A = this chain, B = another copy of it.
Amino acid sequence: MIRVALDVMGGDAAPETPLDGARAALEEWPEDIALVLVGPEDAVAPHLVDLPAERVSWLPAAERIDATEAPAHAVRRKPDSSIVRGLEAVRDGEVEAFVSAGSTGAIMVASMLTLGVLPGVDRPPAAAVFPTATGRVLVLDVGANIQVRPHQLHQFARLGSIYLRDVLRGRDPRVGLLNVGEEEEKGGDISIAAYGLLAEDDELEFVGNIEGHQIIAGACDVLVCGGFVGNVLLKFYESISGFILTVLRDSGMPEGRDLDEVLRFLDYTEYGGAPLLGVNGVTFICHGSSPARAIKNAIRSAADAVACHAVNDMRTGLQSITLEEVEG
């Protein structure tokens, strides 16, 4: 049984949506998932009655960190928040993973403070799965690090490759660097330096720069980028497939084979959340607007990451990275 701590207070529709996600996960995977619901008594206790007692418990946390609060400040000021309590439970071995639709920044800061980062990692990236024409690509960072340096992009490539192999069962992942042109000298100083580090690393299958239109074509399996562009791209992608579906429905497309079915592969809630890679424990971040299905699938993805020993493999896989520029 893999124990996952779920932040009941995370997300725009908390606690209802996280609780709905919890219920769905417990129902769908009765064999191997147990949940620890993290939140205040009034939010959690009324629901414990309906849930299977042997697989669900409650971890009290009286405070909630809002998306509008400055992350570092909020984490320090609210030690009894659901985010901090949930991550402490991972650190102390009471659970194996933490899932939250709360503030990305606060989860990031609290994960670094509570779990710590693996040797060779400056700051953990968040990684998201994008569906493509040929399967999927793991994009990182999608928002945990706004400004990145070349050696961090190199770390992202290592972390992403290991995660893809371990958890998503991808063989020999091809790594691409998101850029504005194919040529090695494109994209400014950071991109050029990152290109050099990636090209020199024998443990990576580096396929070079990837432009915006090559992502969906499936030109690589792991795409590294800064958190700003990654975050914009992720949210844009999720919105556009929904938008095109609406346009098609509104246009009175004939209902032959169902549109939803054909375009299901574009549904981001399939993977549910973005793992924070490079911390010493399994943490999944969901959008604040995640529906219950996304929460449910993030719980599944987190349990899979635990079952694959992804954190240990990342620890090993990072050992050979040059650390010349590593910062606190």
Could you list which residues of chain A lie within 8 angstroms of chain B, going by C-beta atoms?
Answer: 67-68, 70, 133, 143, 146-147, 178, 180-181, 183, 185, 187-188, 211-217, 225, 227-229, 231-241, 243-244, 246-248, 251-254, 256-257, 259, 262-263, 266
Contact = CB atoms under 8 A, between A and B. Distances in A.
A236 B239 contact: no
12 contacts: A178-B232, A211-B232, A212-B231, A212-B238, A216-B243, A225-B232, A240-B240, A240-B241, A244-B244, A248-B262, A253-B262, A254-B256
A5 B94 CA distance: 70
A211 B243 CA distance: 15
Q: Most B CB atoms within 10 A — which of A68, A213, A235?
A: A213
Contacts of A254: 254, 256-257
Contact of A228 (B70, B187, B235, B240): B187
10 closest A-B pairs by CB = A212-B235, A254-B256, A213-B239, A212-B236, A213-B235, A212-B232, A146-B188, A180-B231, A251-B262, A229-B229
Contacts of A146: 180, 187-188
A133 B241 CA distance: 12
Nearest to A256: B254
A200 to B, nearest CB: 22
A43 to B, nearest CB: 25
A202 B180 CA distance: 34
A246 B265 CA distance: 14
Given A229-B232, A248-B259, A252-B257, 12 more contacts: A68-B183, A133-B243, A133-B246, A180-B231, A187-B228, A211-B235, A213-B238, A217-B239, A233-B236, A240-B240, A251-B262, A253-B256
Contacts of A227: 180
A169 to B, nearest CB: 23
A235 B182 CA distance: 13
Contacts of A225: 232
Contacts of A70: 185
B215 A143 contact: no
Nearest to A266: B244
A231 B244 CA distance: 21
A235 B183 CA distance: 16
Contacts of A251: 257, 262
A232 B188 CA distance: 14
Contact of A236 (B181, B185, B215, B246): B215
